[in-house]
Amino acid sequence: MVEYLKIFEVIVSVLLILTVLIQNKSVSLNLTNMSGGMAQIKKRWPEKVLHIATIVLWIIFILTAIALFVI
């Protein structure tokens, strides 16, 4: 059981790294370059899917790490 959890955690960590690396690099927190005022920034569906996938993979990674610590 522990070996399966370790393998699963490695797979999840690789997927998490890949989802972070393929996200858009031009997005920044610098709000001074925005020329339209302080409008709400909406993500298109590819960015939104990657954002949600990153959050889900992060939660799965944390849960498997806690499970491995407890076992």
Domain presence at residue 29: no
The total number of structural domains that make up the chain: 1
Task: Say if 2 falls within a structural domain.
Answer: yes
Q: Which tokens is 15 given?
A: 């997927």
Is position 61 within any domain? yes
In a domain, 38, yes or no: no
pLDDT digits (tens, 9 = 90+) for 42-61: 668 888 899 999 999 999 99
Residue 41 maps to a domain: no
Tell me the pLDDT band of 39, cut-offs 50, 70 and 90: low
Give Cα 32 distance to the centre of its chain: 26
Would residue 6 count as lying in a domain?
A: yes
Give residue 1's pLDDT: 87
As a whole-number percent, the residues of the chain with pLDDT over 70 amount to: 73
Range of the domain at 3: 1-12+48-71
**Residue 32 belongs to some domain of the structure:** no
In which residue are the tokens 């690396």 written?
A: 21
pTM: 0.72
Identify the burial level of 12 via C-beta atoms within 10 angstroms of its C-beta, where 0-12 means exposed, 13-18 middle and 19 or more buried. Answer: buried
Residue 62 CA to residue 13 CA, distance in Å, equals: 10
Nearest to 12 by CA among 70, 53, 41, 47: 53
CB within 8 Å of 44: residues ≥ 6 apart: none
